[in-house]
Amino acid sequence: MDRHPRHAPATLRNRDAILSILKTLVPDRGLLLEIASGTGEHAAHMTPRLPPALVWQPTDAAPNALADIDAHTAGCESIRPALLLDTRMPSWPVPRADIILCCNMIHIAPWEAALGLFAGAARILPTGGALVLYGPFRRQGLHTAPSNAEFDRSLRARDTSWGVRCLDSEVRPAAAAVGLEFAAEHSMPANNLIIVLRRT
Ligand SMILES: C[S@@+](CC[C@H](N)C(=O)[O-])C[C@H]1O[C@@H](n2cnc3c(N)ncnc32)[C@H](O)[C@@H]1O
C-alpha cells in the first residue's frame, strides 16, 4: 500500500535554495499561486518563512495529489486547500494571482502544459507580476551538464512528449508570444535554474 501522504525527497534538497530567491520576489501581501504542487512540501516549508499576509494557493493536475498536499500543509493558516488545476484548462479556478511559482513541471509534462502555463499566467497576473519557473533547462539547445543530458534521456524514455526544455529557443519565445518577458535567471544547485518571467 502507498504511504500517505507521499513524500518527494528532492524537495528537501532544493527547497531552501528556491526559497532564498522566492523571498526576493514575493509581495508583502496577496496571493501566490503554485502550479504543480506535487506533494505540497514546498508550500509547507516555504509559507511560514514568507510574509505572513501572503496567501499560498497550491494546485495540481493530478486529482490524487490534492489529499497529499492538504495533509502536508494542514495547520498552516496561510495555505489554502489544494485545487485541481491543469495548466491546459482554458480557464483556471483561480482568477487572479500576484505571483506564480511552478517547480519541476514543464519537463515532466507535454509541451502543451508549458504553453498552457504561459497562457494562464498571462491571463491572471497583473502587469509586472512574476511567473517563477524552477528546474533544468537547455541553453542554445545544449544541455548544461552531463547529468541533465542523462535526465533528459530518462524522461523521454518514459514519455516521448516529456523532456528538458530549451530556455532560448522554446521557453523564452513561447512566453514572450503571450506577453511574458524574460526578467532574470538564477543558478541553482544541481544544474537547475530559476527563471523569472514578468507580465508586460
Ligand atoms: C515532478 S512533479 C513536481 C512537484 C513539485 N512542484 C516539486 O517540485 O516537487 C510534477 C508535477 O506536475 C504535475 N503536472 C503535470 N502536468 C501538469 C499540468 N498540465 N498542469 C498542472 N500540473 C501538472 C504532476 O501532477 C506532478 O505533481
What is the distance between the alpha carbons of residues 85 and 69, in angstroms, rounded to a whole number? 13
Q: How far apart are the first and last CA of the chain?
A: 48
Ligand 1 lined by 104 (C-beta under 6 Å) = yes
C-alpha pair distances (Å), 140 with each of 22, 32, 167, 171, 176 = 26, 31, 7, 11, 17
Per-residue pLDDT of the chain (200 residues; tens, 9 = 90+): 456 899 999 999 999 999 999 999 999 999 999 999 999 999 999 999 999 999 999 999 999 999 999 999 999 999 999 999 999 999 999 999 999 999 999 999 999 999 999 999 999 999 999 999 999 999 999 999 999 999 999 999 999 999 999 999 999 999 999 999 999 999 999 999 999 999 99
C-alpha of residue 154 to centroid of ligand 1, in Å: 17
From 14, 35, 41, 60, the mutation candidate for ligand 1 (largest count of ligand atoms within 8 A of CB) is 60
- Segment (H or E) for 199: strand 192-199
Break the chain into its structural domains and give their ranges: 9-199
Is the CB of 130 within 6 Å of ligand 1? Answer: no
Q: 50 CA distance to ligand 1 centroid (A)?
A: 22
Quick one: pLDDT at residue 1? 40
> So what's the pLDDT on residue 153?
98
Coil, strand or helix: which one is 10? Answer: helix
Q: Is the CB of 6 under 6 A from ligand 1?
A: no
The model's pTM is: 0.98
Q: Which CATH topology does 9-199 take?
A: Rossmann fold (3.40.50)
